Amino acid sequence: MKITKERIITFMILFIISCLLYHTFLGGFFSIDTMKIINLGYDGYGFQYSFYDARIIMGIICMIANFLHINIKIFYIIMLIMSLIISTITVMKIVEIVKEKKKEKNQLSNIFIIIIAYLFIFNFMTIDNMQWIENFVIALSIWFFILSAENFIIRNNIKKGILYCIIAVFCYQGTINMFIITIILFTILEYKTIQPKMIKQLIVVIAITLSIVLFQFIIKKVLESCINSMQPKRLNLQLYSNIIENFKNLPMLLWNSIYLFPSGWYLGCIAITCMVTCIYAIRTRNIKPVLIIILLFLLSIVSSFLLLCFYPKGIFPSNRKDFWIDWSKF
């Protein structure tokens, strides 16, 4: 991305908004993973959770924090600030790509693109991600997945696409849902109609991605056999019952923004953006912005919902409060 005065101002505005939204977290939010680090130490957590799950980057960060003897609360705040910075940069990247493809010169349309991109990256699962000690690594994973999708679809640079995808997977494999919907978004931007080239490109991307995921899975199994972890089995593969139960809880999950923000905050942002964009679409007789917003919103909901189905039923959202510890009482 070219550094310009306009982009610096946009970045600062978005970053300040993010800091205001997450100001309660900046006080040192205390999650279950923070408790694990306190009990196990940075090195123990790094080996038994990060390296054990083949999340290499987080494991290295834990080793550095252990060497520097960083206070746990300071460590979380540093991770959160870096997460907000990299997430804001990711928003700017999405804006750059969409503007490049749409070639919009209308200032109002550009503002809409920024809002859409912000809600796309700071979706309701990102709200949940910010409470965890790994939030920076999660945000970094999404950043590299976006870069990978850009190189696969927009730049047609397979080598860079593979490199960024590998880094993203070894940062945090759970964000691959964002990779999938970004691939869909960039494909829509790149191709106006279904073409043989598009189908061939998607087949290649799917094959490469599956190969990388398989490689990461093999590495994970090797590390599991080498590391004696106390980590319990977290995934519940009773998918049918999970889908039914989590589907029932999904409206409440969205409405309550995972209980981390005022009720209706996330859906309110979506509703206001859609209404304003609809007014814009009617005035300009251009329905594309509305369709893009709806598509991005639905894709983020569906992809996150599918991810939730691998968790034990009922964990979202009703039992989540039991996992949180008030820092002030610690």
Where the chain has pLDDT below 50, the residues are 235-236, 312-325, 327, 329-330
The pLDDT assigned to 25 comes to: 78
Residue 141: exposure state from Cβ atoms within 10 A (0-12, 13-18, ≥19): buried
pLDDT (tens digit, 9 = 90+) per residue, 44-73?
A: 899 888 888 889 999 999 999 999 999 888
Query: What is the pTM (predicted TM-score) of this model?
Result: 0.84
The pLDDT assigned to 310 comes to: 53
The pLDDT assigned to 323 comes to: 43
The pLDDT assigned to 167 comes to: 95
The pLDDT assigned to 320 comes to: 45
The pLDDT assigned to 163 comes to: 96
DSSP secondary structure, 232-264, as one string: PP-----HHHHHHHHHHHHHHHHHTGGGTS-TT
The pLDDT assigned to 181 comes to: 83
Q: Return mean pLDDT, the chain.
A: 79
